[in-house]
Structure 1
């Protein structure tokens, strides 16, 4: 090994879809130069992975909400982050975010909206109706380039709890990894040889994981036996996971017994290869990864390649000449934070060992939240200073979301953060348990625990693994688009009718915003973000005549979303808490502050039934239609006798038009025992003139109005609402109206300045309790820089 030389070359590789990345070739060579053949091999290893990433979504969505528990009648505030799935930077690719609020128990969608995305960020709100049934809900978000791939897992949602009223704080919860476990005798125990397999005669690291019958982590203590004799003991060190070292012998038998209530259960350690190669991570210092590559002495000397990729982008390929064993060092300077898949290839470019390792853990947003006080009086002004830096203390321009709310509305079961979402949950298949643990600086063992997690997950669980990417197939016909599709079709068309080439879309509440949309040869058109942002309710008008029957339709994008959802399952991290200490709504009594208010008895108001158009524009069209019908009606009223359609006095200067709602009389005479109307009697006759029901012109439904004026309506983007932030003077602080806001601040669009700083002011309410603040965000120009920070303070009642 002492005779080895280290050479590096750097080249830039660009592919057809305009993705370019830095490919760092760290070459460990004996005394021969870098050949063009080596470069071609390395380019091939990089490109063959990159070509598979076309099956993966280009973007990834994360939702941040103003709190975790909501009461009916409140507003649910949320922010969406739409990031490049590989670089974890805000993306401007998608302009539309589709949002659904759905019940967790039966997947019923209770509300859905479209929102405009601006450069990777979007914020909105949903009003929770009083009629909404209490329970567990999901707030889900979809975009065109984040929801169309063949992946079976869906991560783009946030779990919420909706209650009618809340009063007491949910009981404290205890994570299983921090000292309390769920009792269960049944254990599922798995072992994971580092690199993928064990080779006889080569020292290997073996990771293990134990879960109970519910799939939850279980701490264990066990013994490894060799030929039925105890060889070593081991125990889990974090969330049922641990590891031990073993030099296996293919001629010997190995099994494991766990200490506990079921000692008779034996786990066989099999699959030991007689010869092969082993990849072992020796250490993970900040500057470089150090791997030992070993092979059986019976194998010939050959060149091997070590490829390092993160989220489908190859950053490093190293070449080494392997005899018995060799050391390969991978510099970390140019790698982003995240899960790196390290794959060992033999001379034939066949993968022979793989390992997942987390790199550059400290490369993140460091957020400081500094309050001017630790305790405030009710309705007092608070000043919060935010400062964001990188791991070196240099300022970072970041896009942040901030919420400050009463601690009682925090969901103990929700452990999802922007860091755990993008760096772990969306990168690994299967359920993760309390992933926020690995990013919380309070946990000194978080890096070691994360290394255990990746050792026991296995490289096949990495969503960017080459084999996993190959197995994914894009959906053929079911896909979500960033625009809304429409179509104009002729139900009946005259021979000489000129084919329409466009339709017009407009918001009738805004003057001069009519926009023409071209039709393709099949009559199809697209409503883009520029159209959808024109207003909440939009109208599309075609230019057909009365003799043509034309139908304009707009596809509901949520139909495609709902269809795709059937092919996926929802994946959400679990905060392992003791069942008896989970929040239970039945334990919650009415909020004490409600008693200070006044509750009104239910009042039922009845009135005359009347046709009402809620839409102002339709009301205007209805009035125009009524005016037109008034002008064209053949009905008339005799001014002399007030008869409707009087047979004696036909339409003349002595007649008038009927008035809506007026009561008129009808002339009738008796002939052969039958009462006749509408004609003049001959000879003597007996007559009567009974009153008619109030006169009404023909009723036009909404559909009638739309058809009459060649219109159809569609929904644009949801309207933005401003979060209410009161400002109190000294008099209002002591003698003003009561303020029972439980969310003091929701600010989803904070952007730090060039110093990485932002200052926010807000006022407390009359609730005297502990409040918590959550800040999350992403670096605007720094790849993979994510961060979250929480803080707390108390509000005391004024004397």
Structure 2
């Protein structure tokens, strides 16, 4: 059957109609009413240990209502998943859509699942224009303060009708704890507190709850100032699976064969790979199945009045029939053999009643093609060139004369899976502490700006991986997607074909487009700010002068006669990990009846977003039955780390053993604030003023520690610049080097056809390592990776 090529219609003078029609106008309004930005943050990895540094680069790739250049601050906060607790936050400078920074994870942070929440200072209707979430896991480099275990002692049955869950806690050497510890647990809508008995045990009785989205019981154990989290997925009674059907094009039409996509999930939204029987009027007519992503498809020519159902072949679910949508009598079906298109998309249209209609090619924000069409037969193939369509997700909608949709299908235009960056190492197998020579070559566009991470491969969990291509083109546009087994959905064509058959736009629908009005385009634009107020025992009559001190630099800020003042960006920029102090100029300790109150919009927004932002991944019914499961293996950490003594689990300011009042310490290898021997390690000691210590391998004179008077000086959270990644050649054979991130670079410029050469060293950790390169080009986003192995000497 021949193809009819729409392109030739335009070549022979057929003009596009609807140039100013209501559909295109509504799309313009829709784009204004639901603007989409694209903030992506490349973190060096997604599995960290306490006291590690997280390095990151933020890319504001696409603006919403505010120009990229007007985004000036990026906030990054760490949130604990189990209770949405905000642990700490920091702010970083953005310049022309790029933000560079790092965060030191506190040594006292409990292990478990967390998420980094990043967003910019620009607001639309009170919410950040650009938000990004990175799920992470935090493991420990030290053994937990006490052992904690959870197990199912008794399952629910016909007699007891309840679960018995046993919690047990002991000392590290398996002895009884000196006194009972507090146990807090959550299961479904049940939240309770209890205590362990004298033997360190607690038996919890739970009534099964049906149709739980999360089947876990989450337990927090607290002994003195030490806390630990464990969880257990409880067996679920048989529930209905979640099954949906997606006729390609939108409808099943009587007498017209079409492809039916279908999706099967469990109560936790996890995909189900299974087989099923397809019934017509209670008679089996076919056997169908889903893939590992829970997605399948089958062909069907429906009949009017027939009842089509599906029955799963799976013992874990209630024996249920799932009904397909009823076929309509007259309509149009659309089939797209390949939804992953390069320069042309091909369609097959079948109709039993509609001959004249209009074909739209759009992305709900812009219409790229609007043309009337008349079918001269019931079955026709069409080829549409994509010369005016940008790269990315696109939709074909076929509408009737009243602008009602007859069929619709999403596809990916200008897909390109070519190797965009060549990554070459001088070897594939290295020894410990051996030099690596790395070459990068850009194969597309003119130039690129990329961030580069070389990390231990097991510090990237597949289920929590995000890459700039998959996020920009898929996750940022579509509804919740199944986890790609390879970790990179964009590069997996089979995966793309499946999700485009059953997934729709997250922000846009045809119904929403039809209902949009001009009044919906109005929005309140604002930005997050920092301000303050000086309060005194007596009323302030005249303006005051506030001094902002960063290191030895002082800037003066004038208040109003009510003591109010604003903090501008230039007042807040500070080197990494440095503090900013404010004081009233001319005040003394003896005569200081003054307070400076700081209002930080970012802190307020973080508290708001911790509860409102969802965890962007399916809830896995997996268990953490022992709190030692998230402790790093011995070959990934220094033996000396076993001797760490943390004095205060709630102290995030590095004031443990061996540090002075400023938090500075020297390890036994004469390194100041050594990243391999965290604060609290036995052998650390405070530095001496005038002493010479190694800082990033360079002998440096210690200037001393000056602790400000908290009655005069008031601490402000500043906007930090990036911290440079320290690369060592590890020449000292006695100094352990257990670093999972052995190279990080914020912004490397690549030029087409020119090799960029870099070098760094392996650490003492053996095993597989991954090189990740991702960023932006002058036209697109870009991602590449490579692997090598480190073997012991």
After superposition, what is the alpha-carbon deviation per residue over 1:320-375, rounded to whole angstroms, capped at 9, x for unaligned? Answer: 23565654433234434322222222222233332222233316762222111122
Please tell me whether residue 527 in structure 1 is matched to residue 567 in structure 2.
yes
State the shift of 1:526 in Å: 4.5
Q: Is residue 154–residue 568 contact of structure 1 (8 Å, CA) maintained in 2? A: no
Please tell me whether residue 273 in structure 1 is matched to residue 280 in structure 2.
no
Q: Which deviates the most, 101-110 or 182-191?
A: 182-191
Q: 1: distance between equivalents of 2:523 and 2:607?
A: 11
Residue 347 (structure 2) aligns with: 291
After superposition, what is the alpha-carbon deviation per residue over 1:527-583, rounded to whole angstroms, capped at 9, x for unaligned? Answer: 34333225654456779999999986542123431354266332424598x958999
Q: 2: distance between equivalents of 1:533 and 1:56?
A: 33
* Runs of 5+ consecutive residues of structure 2 not aligned to the other structure: 145-234, 649-659, 664-707
Q: 2: distance between equivalents of 1:134 and 1:532?
A: 32
Please tell me whether residue 786 in structure 1 is matched to residue 782 in structure 2.
yes
- Pick closer, same or farther for the CA change 1:100–1:289 going to 2, 3 Å: same
Among candidates 698, 714, 722, match of residue 720 of structure 1? 722
Among candidates 399, 408, 417, match of residue 449 of structure 2? 399
After superposition, what is the alpha-carbon deviation per residue over 1:110-133, rounded to whole angstroms, capped at 9, x for unaligned? Answer: 211011122222222222222222
Q: Is residue 546–residue 557 contact of structure 2 (8 Å, CA) maintained in 1? A: yes
Residue 52 (structure 1) aligns with: 30
Q: Is residue 223–residue 234 contact of structure 1 (8 Å, CA) maintained in 2? A: yes
SS at match of 2:70: coil
Residue 226 (structure 1) aligns with: 280
- Pick closer, same or farther for the CA change 1:270–1:76 going to 2, 3 Å: closer
What TM-score do the two structures reach when normalised by structure 1?
0.68
Residue 217 (structure 1) aligns with: 271
Residue 758 (structure 2) aligns with: 760
- Pick closer, same or farther for the CA change 1:245–1:491 going to 2, 3 Å: farther
Please tell me whether residue 317 in structure 1 is matched to residue 370 in structure 2.
yes
Residue 551 (structure 2) aligns with: 509
Among candidates 130, 141, 147, match of residue 118 of structure 2? 141
Among candidates 93, 110, 113, match of residue 116 of structure 1? 93
After superposition, what is the alpha-carbon deviation per residue over 1:432-460, rounded to whole angstroms, capped at 9, x for unaligned? Answer: 3227556475xxxx323322212112x3x
After superposition, what is the alpha-carbon deviation per residue over 1:745-792, rounded to whole angstroms, capped at 9, x for unaligned? Answer: 12222221343542110022233x124123132223113x33131312
Q: 2: distance between equivalents of 1:151 and 1:506?
A: 28
Q: 1: distance between equivalents of 2:450 and 2:604?
A: 32
After superposition, what is the alpha-carbon deviation per residue over 1:26-61, rounded to whole angstroms, capped at 9, x for unaligned? Answer: x679x98427x63222xx433322322334455332
Q: 2: distance between equivalents of 1:275 and 1:116?
A: 58
Among candidates 575, 598, 602, match of residue 558 of structure 1? 602
Among candidates 737, 742, 745, match of residue 744 of structure 1? 742
Q: How does 1:426-505 map to 2 (within 5 A)?
A: 426-434=476-484, 439=489, 446-457=492-503, 459=504, 461-465=505-509, 467=511, 481-486=527-532
After superposition, what is the alpha-carbon deviation per residue over 1:155-202, rounded to whole angstroms, capped at 9, x for unaligned? Answer: 5233232323499xxxxxxxxxxxxxx998853322111122222222
Q: How does 1:532-547 map to 2 (within 5 A)?
A: 532-533=572-573, 536-538=578-580
Among candidates 30, 37, 40, match of residue 20 of structure 2? 40
Q: 2: distance between equivalents of 1:343 and 1:572?
A: 29
State the shift of 1:489 in Å: 8.8
Residue 627 (structure 1) aligns with: none
Q: How does 1:33-432 map to 2 (within 5 A)?
A: 33-34=14-15, 38-41=18-21, 44-56=22-34, 58-84=36-62, 91-145=68-122, 155-165=132-142, 186-261=240-315, 264-284=319-339, 285-297=341-353, 299=354, 301-309=355-363, 312-322=365-375, 324=378, 327-362=381-416, 366-390=420-444, 396-432=446-482
- Pick closer, same or farther for the CA change 1:738–1:234 going to 2, 3 Å: closer
- Pick closer, same or farther for the CA change 1:465–1:567 going to 2, 3 Å: farther
Q: 1: distance between equivalents of 2:273 and 2:422?
A: 35
After superposition, what is the alpha-carbon deviation per residue over 1:305-325, rounded to whole angstroms, capped at 9, x for unaligned? Answer: 313217x34433343235656
Q: Is residue 486–residue 525 contact of structure 1 (8 Å, CA) maintained in 2? A: yes
Q: 2: distance between equivalents of 1:550 and 1:139?
A: 36
- Pick closer, same or farther for the CA change 1:451–1:515 going to 2, 3 Å: farther
After superposition, what is the alpha-carbon deviation per residue over 1:601-652, rounded to whole angstroms, capped at 9, x for unaligned? Answer: 86999xxxxxx9969xxxxxxxxxxxxxxxxxxxxxxxxxxxxxxxxxxxxx
Q: 2: distance between equivalents of 1:775 and 1:365?
A: 14
Q: Is residue 124–residue 721 contact of structure 1 (8 Å, CA) maintained in 2? A: yes
State the shift of 1:109 in Å: 1.5
State the shift of 1:593 in Å: 7.2
Q: 1: distance between equivalents of 2:760 and 2:552?
A: 34
- Pick closer, same or farther for the CA change 1:542–1:192 going to 2, 3 Å: same
Residue 659 (structure 1) aligns with: none
SS at match of 2:720: coil
Q: Which deviates the most, 475-484 or 279-288?
A: 475-484
Please tell me whether residue 772 in structure 1 is matched to residue 772 in structure 2.
no
Q: Which deviates the most, 260-269 or 535-544?
A: 535-544
Q: Is residue 423–residue 438 contact of structure 2 (8 Å, CA) maintained in 1? A: yes
SS at match of 2:69: coil
- Pick closer, same or farther for the CA change 1:490–1:780 going to 2, 3 Å: farther
- Pick closer, same or farther for the CA change 1:744–1:551 going to 2, 3 Å: closer
- Pick closer, same or farther for the CA change 1:468–1:210 going to 2, 3 Å: same
Q: 1: distance between equivalents of 2:438 and 2:529?
A: 40
Q: Is residue 194–residue 355 contact of structure 1 (8 Å, CA) maintained in 2? A: yes
Residue 652 (structure 2) aligns with: none
Please tell me whether residue 586 in structure 1 is matched to residue 629 in structure 2.
yes
Q: 1: distance between equivalents of 2:573 and 2:420?
A: 35
Q: How does 1:576-655 map to 2 (within 5 A)?
A: 579=622, 585-586=628-629, 588=631, 591-592=634-635, 597=640
Q: 1: distance between equivalents of 2:442 and 2:434?
A: 26
After superposition, what is the alpha-carbon deviation per residue over 1:691-719, rounded to whole angstroms, capped at 9, x for unaligned? Answer: xxxxxxxxxx957536xxxxx65332135
SS at match of 2:738: coil
Q: 2: distance between equivalents of 1:715 and 1:152?
A: 22
Q: 2: distance between equivalents of 1:377 and 1:5?
A: 59
Q: 2: distance between equivalents of 1:196 and 1:603?
A: 60
Largest Rg, 1 or 2: 1
How many residue pairs end up in the alignment?
640
Q: 1: distance between equivalents of 2:421 and 2:451?
A: 12
SS at match of 1:271: coil
Residue 152 (structure 2) aligns with: none
SS at match of 2:410: strand
- Pick closer, same or farther for the CA change 1:705–1:233 going to 2, 3 Å: closer
SS at match of 2:450: strand
Among candidates 705, 715, 726, match of residue 712 of structure 2? 705
Residue 658 (structure 1) aligns with: none
